[in-house]
């Protein structure tokens, strides 16, 4: 198995470019990339194993689906742009 070294170019997901790009390793931890620098926009960030974080839109969609199930509605009948004011606030249960 080849050891990673500082400056090695590896693929990772860049949140700024919003896609998998080439990254140079700028920090190593236990032989694994800890921090990388995007070769496209030169921003540093933690190495994330090429995994894209869920976007706000995806999180919203999950929430919509969740609420739709709670309300006994089928997904798709949910209005395209739900009003934020309709969010239940008095429930006291923070989504984790
Ligand atoms: Zn980038």
pLDDT digits (tens, 9 = 90+) for 16-41: 999 999 999 999 999 899 999 999 99
Residue 88: φ, ψ to 5°: -70, 125
Ligand 1 centroid to residue 32 C-alpha, Å: 20
**pLDDT score of 20:** 94
Q: Are strands 19-29 and 9-14 parallel, antiparallel or unpaired?
A: antiparallel
Instruction: Output the pTM of the full model.
Output: 0.57
**Residue 55 DSSP class:** P
Ligand 1 centroid to residue 51 C-alpha, Å: 14
Q: Over range 64-68, report the average pLDDT.
A: 90
- Identify any residues that bridge with 35 across adjacent strands, giving them in sequence order: 27, 46
d(Cα 79, Cα 64) in Å, to the nearest integer? Answer: 9
Q: Is the pLDDT higher at 55 or at 49?
A: 49
**Residue 48 DSSP class:** -
Ligand 1 centroid to residue 63 C-alpha, Å: 28
d(Cα 65, Cα 33) in Å, to the nearest integer? Answer: 36
């Amino acid at each position: 198995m080849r050891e990673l070294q500082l400056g090695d170019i590896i693929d990772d997901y860049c949140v700024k470019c919003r896609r998998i790009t080439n990254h140079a390793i700028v920090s190593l931890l236990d032989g694994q990339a800890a921090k990388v620098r995007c070769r496209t926009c030169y921003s540093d960030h933690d190495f994330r194993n090429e995994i894209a974080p869920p976007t706000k839109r995806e999180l919203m969609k999950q929430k919509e689906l969740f609420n739709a199930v709670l309300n006994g509605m089928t997904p798709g009948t949910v209005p395209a742009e739900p009003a934020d004011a309709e969010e239940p606030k008095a429930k006291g249960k923070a989504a984790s």
